[in-house]
């Protein structure tokens, strides 16, 4: 598909009211309170479009590239194509939009239908280089429930966690450069979205949202906690000493300072334009011993980015 064809497809999509931007989603959310069921369904569809776009982008970045056709123009065309695919994939029966519509309906006090299940195989096919013919994606392209695990809409605890710490994260991003969504996603994963924060002796919060340990150079407060470490690939319980802070703002600042100033995280801080690359950089640098850390962080960050768009 050429650049002009992609633009044409996007124009047709826009004329049908299928937009993939946070501003339009915010307008639709406002309309949902006035226009009833139809507006709720359209709002959910747009949210799913934004989520699928990030999913496709993350998967494509994780796939192997030859480098022969890479160029700024090619990257732009790919991004526009991914946007169109994301729009086409949204609103399918049994998809993520049904779950979002269900939650919106509950919050508005309406009657809630049984939610369906969303899948990711079609997104994976696109990211791996497989094409999809022009036109709507049919049910036949969607895999059975046995083939893939369902995607889940953000939970209330995830949304609350992001909203609680968004202001501080955004302020730290402005001064230290680490994307707020990346920090919030990693903090959410490390703490179970606020459910399992590290506490100091006596039960007071340590405000350590990032699981940063207290090494020999740390002169501040500490908290001793039993944690799981992976030794030769096997999980083992260990008592470790972690840093403690006076506030969450101090925790975000210390985390950003660690990523920016420590030579071991040089590769990660150069990859803040990519969720997958940043998460992989952290794992390769030894931020955590969990062999699946990069995948878990990527999911948490993508969830956070989706929540941020919904809350915009």
pLDDT tens digits for range 113-142 = 444 433 344 444 434 444 433 333 333 333
Those residues with Cβ within 8 angstroms of residue 161's Cβ, 6 or more apart along the chain or in another chain:
184, 187, 188, 191, 193, 194
| Average pLDDT value for residue range 47-51 | 75
Domains of the chain: 3-153 (no CATH), 157-311 (1.10.530.10)
Average pLDDT, the chain: 75
Kindly state the DSSP code that residue 70 receives in the 8-state scheme. Answer: -
What confidence score (pLDDT) does residue 11 get? Answer: 43
Exposed, middle or buried, 170 (CB in 10 Å: 0-12/13-18/19+)?
Answer: middle
Taking residue 17's Cβ as centre, other Cβ atoms within 10 Å add up to: 11
What's the pLDDT score for residue 108?
A: 60
How far apart CA 18 and CA 13 sit, in angstroms, is 5
**What does the pLDDT read at residue 187?**
97
Q: For 63-117, what is each residue's pLDDT tens digit? A: 655 555 566 656 666 777 777 776 766 766 656 767 777 766 666 655 544 444 3
pLDDT at residue 62 in the model: 63
- 229 included as an active-site residue: yes
Helix ranges restricted to H, the chain: 3-15, 22-35, 37-62, 72-89, 96-107, 121-127, 156-176, 180-191, 248-261, 266-269, 275-284, 293-311
Confidence of residue 22 (pLDDT cuts 50, 70, 90): low
Q: What global pTM score does this model have?
A: 0.54
Mind giving me the DSSP string for 101-156? HHHHHHHTT---PPP--B--HHHHHHHTT----SSPPPGGGSPPTTTSPPB-PPPH
Tell me if 213 sits within 8 A of 223, measured CB to CB: no
| 224 annotated active-site | no
| Residue in 75, 229, 261, 292 annotated catalytic | 229
| Residue 171 reports pLDDT greater than 90 | yes
Choice among 48, 98, 190, 254 that is catalytic: 254
pLDDT digits (tens, 9 = 90+) for 194-235: 999 999 988 999 999 999 999 888 999 999 988 777 877 778
């Amino acid at each position: 598909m050429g650049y002009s064809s992609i633009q044409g497809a996007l124009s047709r999509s826009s004329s049908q009211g299928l937009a993939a931007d946070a501003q339009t989603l915010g307008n639709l959310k406002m309309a949902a309170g006035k226009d009833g069921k139809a507006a709720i369904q359209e709002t959910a569809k747009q949210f799913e479009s934004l989520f699928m776009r990030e999913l496709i982008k993350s998967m494509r970045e994780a796939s192997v590239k030859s480098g022969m056709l890479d160029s700024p123009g090619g990257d732009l065309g790919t991004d526009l194509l991914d946007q169109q695919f994301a729009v086409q994939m949204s609103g399918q029966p049994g998809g993520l939009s049904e779950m979002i519509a269900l939650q919106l309906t509950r919050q508005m006090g309406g009657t809630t239908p049984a939610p369906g299940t969303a899948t990711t195989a079609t997104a994976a096919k696109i990211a791996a280089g497989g094409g999809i013919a022009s036109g709507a994606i049919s049910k036949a392209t969607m895999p059975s429930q046995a083939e893939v695990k369902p995607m889940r809409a953000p939970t209330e605890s995830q949304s609350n966690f992001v909203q609680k710490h968004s202001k501080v994260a955004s302020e730290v991003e402005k001064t230290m450069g680490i994307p707020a969504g990346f920090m919030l996603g990693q903090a959410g994963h490390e703490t179970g979205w606020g459910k399992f924060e590290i506490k100091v002796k006596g039960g007071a919060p340590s405000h350590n949202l990032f699981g940063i340990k207290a090494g020999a150079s740390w002169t501040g407060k500490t908290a001793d906690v039993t944690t799981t470490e992976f030794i030769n690939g096997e999980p083992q319980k260990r008592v470790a000493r972690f840093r403690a802070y006076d506030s969450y703002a101090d925790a975000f600042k210390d985390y950003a300072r660690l990523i920016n100033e420590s030579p071991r995280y040089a590769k990660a801080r150069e990859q803040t334009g990519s969720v997958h690359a940043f998460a992989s950089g952290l794992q390769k640098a030894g931020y955590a011993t969990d062999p699946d850390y990069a995948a878990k962080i990527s999911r948490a960050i993508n969830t956070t980015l989706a929540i941020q768009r919904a809350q915009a």
